[in-house]
């Protein structure tokens, strides 16, 4: 086995294993329960109306946000931005690694960079798809609505 064959095989094996891992996580991402839900602080208003009424008010705020055209998860944006970030970071890292370990061969650096960008895009896209936090505008809308009803949202989970 030549010195150039071993790194090429290693890169290909790493790319295949990385892609399999990404696909596994992508499958798991589809099994989630959906967007995060607001967590209410048991303040005076919450205690005086009771848990059931507080949850009913909160559900009204969630419905109002959606009927106003807001969506809890902007998955297209998070997938795309994750894929772009992953491709950029992994592509540059792969190209630099190709220059360092390929002893300055520019063709090998470009090849490693392209292979790394593909794996990075898949990993970043999967991370974006797995993100369960609602969009910022949706969260602000629900928090303001709940606040007008005397409820205090302390976080989302």
What would the pLDDT profile of 76-103 be if each residue is shown by its tens digit? 555 555 566 666 666 666 666 666 666 5
Domain extent at residue 54: 40-73+134-157
Report pTM: 0.48
The total domain count for the chain is 2
Q: How confident is the model at residue 59 (pLDDT cuts 50, 70, 90)?
A: very high
Q: How confident is the model at residue 152 (pLDDT cuts 50, 70, 90)?
A: very high
Residue 131 has pLDDT above 90, yes or no: no
Residue 67 has pLDDT above 50, yes or no: yes
Q: Is 119 within 8 Å of 22 (Cβ atoms)? A: yes
Are 113 and 157 in the same domain?
A: no
Indicate whether 1 belongs to any domain.
no
Are 110 and 62 in the same domain?
A: no
User: Which contacts of 44-50 are long-range, i.e. CB under 8 A and separated by 24 or more positions?
Assistant: 44/150, 45/149, 45/150, 45/151, 45/152, 46/150, 46/151, 46/152, 49/150
Are 99 and 143 in the same domain?
A: no
Indicate whether 3 belongs to any domain.
no
Indicate whether 45 belongs to any domain.
yes
More confident residue, 50 or 20: 50
Average pLDDT across the chain, whole number: 73
CA neighbor of 35 nearest in space, from 86, 77, 71, 84:
71
Are 58 and 102 in the same domain?
A: no
Indicate whether 21 belongs to any domain.
no
């Amino acid at each position: 086995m030549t010195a150039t064959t071993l790194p090429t095989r290693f890169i290909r094996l790493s790319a295949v294993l990385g892609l399999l891992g990404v696909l596994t996580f992508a499958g798991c991402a589809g099994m989630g329960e959906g967007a995060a839900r607001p967590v209410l602080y048991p303040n005076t208003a919450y205690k005086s109306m009771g848990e059931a009424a507080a949850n009913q008010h909160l559900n009204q705020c969630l419905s109002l946000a959606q009927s106003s055209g807001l969506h809890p998860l902007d998955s297209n944006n998070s997938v795309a931005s994750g894929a772009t970030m992953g491709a950029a970071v992994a592509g540059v890292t792969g190209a630099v690694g190709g220059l360092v370990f390929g002893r300055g061969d520019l063709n090998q650096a470009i090849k490693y960079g392209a292979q790394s960008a593909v794996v990075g895009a898949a990993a970043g896209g999967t991370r974006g798809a797995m993100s369960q936090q609602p969009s910022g505008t949706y969260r602000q809308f629900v928090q303001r609505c709940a606040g007008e009803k005397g409820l205090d949202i302390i976080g989302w989970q």
